[in-house]
Amino acid sequence: RCTSNSRTTSIHYRTCSMLLSAAILPIPQSAVRCCFRRIYNPLLSSLLATSHHHQQQQHRKMTTLKFQQIIPNNANTTATPLPRSSHGLSIIQNGSLLVLYGGENIARTPIQDPTQVLWLAKKTMGQDCWQWIVPTTTTTGTGSSSTPPSRVAHAQAAVGNSIYIFGGRNGIEMGENAMNDMWMLQIDENEERTTANWTQINASSSIPSARSFHKMIAIGTNLYMFGGCGADGRLNDLWKFDTLTYKWTQLGVSNVLRGRGGPNILALNENKIAIVAGFAGEETNDGHVYSLSSEEWEKEGMKGLDEMRPRSVCCFASLPRVNKCVIFGGEVDPSQKGHEGAGGFERDAVVLDGTSGTVLETIQPSSSGSVDEEWPGNRGWADATVHGDTFYIFGGLAGDDASPVRLDDLWQCKVSP
């Protein structure tokens, strides 16, 4: 028996003293106390730590994920989005409109069909029914192009009802024709039609270098973008874009993380951003936190990520309402054919604490194969978006090098603490 009760501790000390006093040679009391400290205290600390860890495990494994596949009610009667990967997904209009843009249906080849590049999934008010819509496209502004050039591996995020995209590439080879243009998309709906209005943004400052496979999130009226693959290699820089002033600000590079593509960028509580995992020549599971309040990177890398299998090109979601972040799936074994093939993919959900970014648990689909449980298949190179306590996933890449498969399924997942 080993507890922190002082009476029990006293009994153990007297026991040690009596045993040692019965030895052949006389032993000073100072030696008795030293022996006690060296034997009892480490044992007590170890047992208490084990008990505390067990209590933490019991406490933290309480997250409930409820996946449900969304099948729009016109999916069998009209055209639908092509299967794709390396696309962007955003949600606007108070969670009633999903916006799917760009990507590749054939490896490394941007979708160019104007009826396939941009899709909307609209939720019927008061019902859990969705419908696919191809909007009419218009443009405003003085940009050099009327609509964004086709692209894969761009970054996409929404501020209010405005969606912003940055960069990506529209060449076949890695690094070929990478871009650093910024576009804003706004959706206008009336009884007659749904219109997508594109505006090219001319920044009021210097802009980030061209890149692809970077990631971007919105916090308030600002966009935060990290990493990606540039002309001179993988990047580890963090940028802020102010959507009110159109000004880019470089927030510095991480001195902890190697340059990488396909990272996860998470909005933590206490006004912080966490960069987690990504591909840096290998799959990783490290991380680094940037404080928006002090405007600096933390001195050391993140702790508590060891439980997560190294990965990249995942779906990620920050859910402050439930104080959790979720990283779903991703590539865990790189393809031997590069972007021409498909590596090994996961279908687990890694749940992280919404304040510290520490991994709380990894949730797998039920091994019982219950018919009542819906769960997306293995995938990487997909995208996700969040509204409230629910995140949405579309498409991605599955299969293997021998038979890569691009997906066109749409999912929602409600997260409960």
> Alpha-carbon distance 212 to 174, whole Å?
9
Q: Can you spell out the DSSP letters for 324-341?
A: EEEEEEEEEE--TTGGGS
Report the predicted TM-score, pTM, of the whole model to 2 decimal places: 0.85
Asked if 100 contacts 120 with a C-beta cutoff of 8 angstroms, the reply is yes
> Alpha-carbon distance 86 to 102, whole Å?
8
At 30 the pLDDT is 58
Task: Give the closest residue to 151 by CA, choosing from 176, 171, 170, 172.
Answer: 170
> Alpha-carbon distance 328 to 215, whole Å?
15
> Alpha-carbon distance 139 to 123, whole Å?
25
> Alpha-carbon distance 159 to 90, whole Å?
10
At 25 the pLDDT is 45
357 backbone φψ class: left, alpha, beta (φ>0; ψ -120 to 50): left
Distance in angstroms between the alpha carbons of the first and the last residue of the chain = 35
Question: In Å, how far are 12, 22, 23, 34 from 19, measured between CA atoms?
Answer: 11, 5, 7, 14
Q: Can you spell out the DSSP letters for 94-119?
A: TTTEEEEE--EEETTEE---TTTSEE
Which residue numbers in the chain have pLDDT < 50? 1-13, 15-16, 19-25, 32, 36, 44, 47-49, 51-59
Asked if 88 contacts 146 with a C-beta cutoff of 8 angstroms, the reply is no
Indicate the DSSP class of residue 79. Answer: -
At 139 the pLDDT is 80
At 62 the pLDDT is 83
At 366 the pLDDT is 83
At 55 the pLDDT is 45
At 54 the pLDDT is 47
Asked if 250 contacts 237 with a C-beta cutoff of 8 angstroms, the reply is yes
Which residue's entry shows tokens 């995020």?
Answer: 157
